[in-house]
Structure 1
Amino acid sequence: MTLASPRGAATRWLRPVRALLALGAAAVTAAAAAAPWTLTGTLGTHDPNIYKTSTTWWIFETTDNNGIGVKYSADGRNWKQGVPIFGSGLSWWRNYTAADKPAQVWAPGCGEWNGMGYCYYAVSRFGTQNSAIGLTTSAGGIAAGRWVDQGPVVTSTTGNTYNAIDPALARTAGGSPYLVYGSFWNGIFIRPVSSTTLKPSGTAVNIARDNVNGIENGFVISRATNGTTWYYLFASKNACCQGANSTYRIVVGRSSSITGPYVDKNGVAMMSGGGTVLASSGSRFKGPGGQSLLSNGSVMAWHAYDAWNNGAPVLFINNVTWGSDGWPLPVW
């Protein structure tokens, strides 16, 4: 997430979330072929990372100064706020976070890998590329809650072509893990990680860039269509974090290789500003972005800002409908 310039290059903040009502009526107002799900409970969120285990739905989220935020639900509709991971922060974070926000975490990317829970997350200082992506793992999975920090796995500083934030794990069709990350500057990158430790083990490849609007929050899934495996790169463009003035929109491109090149539905390269729009601002809810999907591409979660409630960021979830041409249809 970012303002009109990168999340490391402008003031980043979260608007306070007031008492939000169940979004049933609000969801219906969104313009889409199918309305987002009706949600209840604790719906204030930023950068929601959705994940589903056999019995529980999870959201991992940005916090203002409270570690890695966690929500959970038995059905994906009624959400409760859970106990944050490392809610008081870790000592090494202070090398990257602002002095008054020592436990601020951005855009975690969490799930399970070979029975192990994992969370990538970003810590950064406003106005700089002084950023790090950390990794924490939990033996026995997410629900076990045995989180052990593995330290920083990607870092950036002034002069790097990327900003080390917005991490998300991706997988090839054969099961090899990759880490997607980056924001503004040269955009979004992807690099292989160890299948044992989930730490980077190879060279980063630049897969999306937009020098006019900016691009971040990369999220990659694979999906087979008519016998062909495609990799889909979902991303957020434009400005977030300005409440009702936010101009984020969710876009997508695809490639036959996880490392690209990715193009949008019109054939425009995502390295040249391409991206087919899946969600943009409506009359009430502005700046949809910070998106994530279940690994099979069936469900997407995102945040948008409520212009009728002081620009508070709100959770949205919807089914993803895929066309016969292999492209996802707008979710909103």
Structure 2
Amino acid sequence: MKRTKTAAVLATAVLALLPATARADTAHPDPQPVSGQQIIHDPTVIRLKSGQYVAYSTGGVIGARLSADTRHWDDAGNAFAKPPAWWYEYNDTGDPWAPDISYRDGRYWLYYAVSSWGTNHSAIGVATSRSGLPGTWTDHGKVFGSETTDPYNAIDPALIEADGRLWMAFGSYWTGIRMVELDPRTGKAADGAPVHHLATRPDEPYAVEGPAVVKHGRYYYLFASYDACCSGVNSTYKIKVGRSTSVTGPYTDSTGTPMLEGGGDLLLAGHGRYIGTGGQSVFRDKGQDRLAYHYYDAEDGGTPKLGLNSLTWGRDGWPAVR
């Protein structure tokens, strides 16, 4: 039954009187309908200069899909014909994870991670392309790495430009989300750049990963995936967000709780058939922000599929999924 306008106003007034708690959406929207090749994991999406949309993802040699309208997606092969040789230092199959695509200085930049499950002997690499299309990428090798002696894991890259400088957020478990400055000429970690700490949680195994950082108004917003990925219908992935006036933090949620102390507002969680929503990225589409992520379809054996929603911003500056 639809609520009346008066009831909605009263409900808002009651909520305003409740004790401050981090925002937690209780009525999560379904993803927009999509057709064609829906299977995907850790999507990164961009609208190319040609007007086409491309989505790259974990799987294959960075799996690719193309669309004219974001509603119907066609399989477009892989970013690379074969894995660059250096990937095999990090796993036996040359399997890349969690790409991130961006555009600057007349080129598309594709960042990605190579690692093995359960270790932080990991690396992030980069490739460039003039068109952004699969099969056109030139690999430039390792950007940044981590070893088993490090307190972080160099996977799940996400690029952001801030005040004329280039930054890369990254991280998974191993104390959570980190950030390092990049040299804009090479796209690789700047010499001697410190590693900043953006988000973690107080409980082992510190299950927070897959950052995305977005500037809106005077704030930078850190989106991250929390809890368990990659277990089909048993996945508990969800997306949380915090914000900061500085790209390197500190990031806090709407109650002021730091994301370094377990804070974060719930943005999107599993509901109905859409289980384990996460592996997210944010992209601009015709002047609007959109959220891309994967979910596990409970009505299709837990198959990972593409989720797309509009990302809107409230008058208080906090994002919501529509």
TM-score range with shorter-chain normalisation? 0.7 to 0.9
TM-score (norm 1): 0.83
Counterpart amino acid of residue 213 in structure 2: V
**Matched ranges for 1:31-46 at <5 A:** 32=27, 35-46=30-41
CA distance in 1, matches of 2:81, 2:171: 24
Identity %: 39
Counterpart amino acid of residue 132 in structure 1: A
Aligned to 1:104: 95
Pick the structure with greater CA Rg: 2
Q: Does 1:149 align with 2:139?
A: yes
**Matched ranges for 1:182-261 at <5 A:** 182-201=171-190, 202-212=193-203, 214-224=207-217, 229-261=218-250
Counterpart amino acid of residue 161 in structure 1: P
**Matched ranges for 1:111-126 at <5 A:** 111-126=102-117
Contact 2:157–2:169 under 8 Å retained in 1? yes
The one of 294, 297, 319 equivalent to 1:303 is 294
CA distance in 2, matches of 1:297, 1:209: 29
Task: Tell me the CA shift for residue 103 of structure 1.
Answer: 2.9
Task: Tell me the CA shift for residue 47 of structure 1.
Answer: 0.4
Contact 2:177–2:197 under 8 Å retained in 1? yes
Task: Tell me the CA shift for residue 177 of structure 1.
Answer: 1.4
CA distance in 1, matches of 2:42, 2:237: 12
Q: Deviations over 1:253-274 (max 9, x none)?
A: 0000000000011111000111
Question: Which 10-residue stretch deviates more, 31-40 or 204-213?
Answer: 31-40
Task: Tell me the CA shift for residue 145 of structure 1.
Answer: 4.9
Larger RCO: Structure 1 or Structure 2 (Cα < 8 Å, ≥ 6 residues apart)? 1
Counterpart amino acid of residue 273 in structure 2: R
SS at 1:82's partner residue? strand
Q: 1:297 to 1:187 in 2, by over 3 A?
A: farther
Unaligned runs of 5+ in 2: 1-25
Unaligned runs of 5+ in 1: 1-30
CA distance in 2, matches of 1:216, 1:210: 11
CA distance in 1, matches of 2:259, 2:321: 18
Q: What is the aligned-residue RMSD (CA, Å)?
A: 1.7
Q: Deviations over 1:81-135 (max 9, x none)?
A: 11212242121111101x3xx2311100112111111111011112211111111
Instruction: Count matched residues.
Output: 290
SS at 1:291's partner residue? strand
Aligned to 2:16: none
The one of 47, 56, 60 equivalent to 2:52 is 56
Q: Does 1:137 align with 2:128?
A: yes
Contact 1:184–1:210 under 8 Å retained in 2? no
Of Structure 1 and Structure 2, the greater strand share is in 2
Q: Does 1:177 align with 2:172?
A: no
Contact 2:42–2:293 under 8 Å retained in 1? yes
Aligned to 1:315: 306
Q: Does 1:269 align with 2:265?
A: no
Task: Tell me the CA shift for residue 215 of structure 1.
Answer: 0.6
Q: 1:150 to 1:300 in 2, by over 3 A?
A: same
Q: Detail structure 1 runs of 4+ shifted over 3 Å in the superposition.
A: 31-35, 143-146
Counterpart amino acid of residue 58 in structure 2: T
Contact 2:78–2:135 under 8 Å retained in 1? no
SS at 1:321's partner residue? strand
Contact 2:76–2:134 under 8 Å retained in 1? no
Q: 1:43 to 1:292 in 2, by over 3 A?
A: same
Contact 1:107–1:165 under 8 Å retained in 2? yes
Task: Tell me the CA shift for residue 245 of structure 1.
Answer: 0.3
TM-score (norm 2): 0.86
Q: 1:163 to 1:297 in 2, by over 3 A?
A: farther
